[in-house]
């Protein structure tokens, strides 16, 4: 059993990752912290309660709301991709009888801040806790600044973010999570705790088409299946208009899956730095992934390949 803390900015692909984590018996989700990113942090927290509300759970992870702004830059969100509420506009949906379709989980928000909950969990499970960061790394950087000794007791940090040999999804050179708070990412990568990063180079290898999603949930009337379909439609329409296919990349599910099914993933060691100042390259993750060209001791593992069977495993677990 692996103890994990999920740090997230839900986000449709975050929803896929959280549902996968909660349906993976190899993982014990001790806590979930929210952070600004896809949406403002208050909305991210509301979205997390909605995601958890689609599951029939007797117990919930501890939940805390994290940072509302990046370390230096002003916040930029992604409602144009994920819907006005960041969750495919599911908060606006009504059933045929006019009742709200999705409800919040019956749990409460911790009195701790997101940063303090990360530090408490790191202290409670020294050398055991894995932090899975699915959004900007602001909470983690703030936790490092506040108590580096406790953060050094993390087993590792697993990150969805960055891009190396592919194009970015915000600018030509930058991936969204890193672009939103590049200063935080640089601090986390340079901190010294083992980092395993899943960049766009890997997540772009997994395409969930609308046809595949429809086939997987067809004939099913459970809450999770209905929620996945409803939450995903805004993203898929964005991809249809701007990328050229009806579907989307479930980026954030990959780092969760790598903890339970590592054989689906191939990674290389690298030394990663983040550009924080460049006008054209702000948020760019910089690394030479060629083993023979390493000039520094690696500070991370970078996922470079994903097996096609990943999606089969994903839907099997959700069922």
Span 20-38, mean pLDDT?
97
At 259, the pLDDT band (50, 70, 90 cuts) reads: very high
pLDDT at 94: 80
At 227, the pLDDT band (50, 70, 90 cuts) reads: very high
Span 83-93, mean pLDDT?
89
Q: Is 249 a catalytic residue?
A: no
At 232, the pLDDT band (50, 70, 90 cuts) reads: very high
- Confidence check: pLDDT of 294 > 80: no
Taking the C-alpha atoms of residue 32 and residue 50, their distance in angstroms, rounded to an integer, is 13
pLDDT tens by residue, 116-136: 999 999 999 999 999 999 999
pLDDT tens by residue, 107-118: 999 999 999 999
Domain count, the chain: 1
At 210, the pLDDT band (50, 70, 90 cuts) reads: very high
Q: What angle is formed at CA 54 by the lines to CA 51 and CA 55, rounded to 5 degrees? A: 105
pLDDT at 103: 85
Which stretch of DSSP H or E encloses residue 28?
Answer: strand 27-34
Taking the C-alpha atoms of residue 189 and residue 124, their distance in angstroms, rounded to an integer, is 23
Compute the CA torsion angle 164, 165, 171, 174 (nearest 10 deg).
0
Span 29-52, mean pLDDT?
97
Residue with the larger pLDDT of the pair 90 and 256: 256
Span 177-198, mean pLDDT?
98
Query: Which of 3, 5, 127, 155 minimizes the C-alpha distance to 66?
Result: 5
CATH number at 53 reads 3.90.245.10
Residue range(s) defining the domain that contains residue 120: 2-318
At 66, the pLDDT band (50, 70, 90 cuts) reads: very high
pLDDT at 137: 98
Taking the C-alpha atoms of residue 207 and residue 217, their distance in angstroms, rounded to an integer, is 17
pLDDT at 204: 97
Tell me which of 82, 183, 196, 251 is the catalytic residue: 251
- Confidence check: pLDDT of 148 > 80: yes
- Confidence check: pLDDT of 58 > 90: no
What's the distance, Cα to Cα, between the start and end of the chain in Å?
21
Which of the residue ranges 37-51, 66-80, 177-191, 280-294 would you say has the lowest mean pLDDT?
A: 280-294
């Amino acid at each position: 059993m692996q103890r994990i803390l999920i740090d997230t900015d839900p986000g449709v692909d975050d929803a896929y990752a959280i549902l996968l984590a909660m349906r993976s018996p190899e993982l014990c989700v001790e806590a979930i912290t929210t952070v600004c990113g896809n949406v403002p942090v208050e909305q991210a927290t509301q979205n997390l309660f909605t995601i958890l509300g689609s599951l029939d759970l007797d117990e919930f992870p501890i939940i805390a709301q994290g940072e509302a702004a990046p370390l230096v830059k002003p916040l930029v969100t992604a409602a144009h991709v994920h819907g006005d509420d960041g969750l495919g506009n599911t908060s606006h949906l009504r059933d045929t009888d006019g009742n709200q379709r999705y409800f919040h989980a019956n749990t409460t928000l911790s009195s701790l801040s997101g940063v303090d909950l990360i530090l408490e969990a790191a202290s409670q499970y020294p050398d055991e806790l894995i932090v899975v960061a699915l959004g900007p790394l602001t909470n983690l950087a703030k936790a490092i600044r506040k108590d580096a000794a406790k953060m050094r007791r993390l087993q590792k940090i697993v990150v969805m973010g960055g891009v190396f040999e592919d194009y970015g999804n915000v600018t030509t050179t930058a991936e969204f999570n890193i672009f939103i708070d590049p200063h935080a990412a640089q601090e986390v990568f340079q901190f010294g705790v083992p980092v395993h990063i899943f960049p766009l180079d890997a997540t772009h290898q997994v395409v969930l088409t609308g046809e595949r999603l429809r086939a997987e949930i067809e004939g099913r009337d459970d809450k999770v299946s209905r929620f996945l379909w409803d939450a995903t439609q805004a993203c898929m329409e964005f991809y249809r208009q701007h990328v050229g296919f009806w579907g989307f990349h479930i980026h954030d599910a990959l780092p969760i899956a790598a903890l339970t099914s590592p054989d689906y993933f191939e990674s290389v060691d690298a030394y990663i730095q983040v550009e924080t100042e460049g006008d054209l390259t702000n948020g760019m993750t910089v690394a030479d992934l060629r083993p023979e060209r390493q000039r520094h001791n690696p500070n991370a593992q970078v996922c470079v390949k994903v097996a096609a069977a990943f999606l089969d495993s994903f839907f099997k677990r959700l069922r």
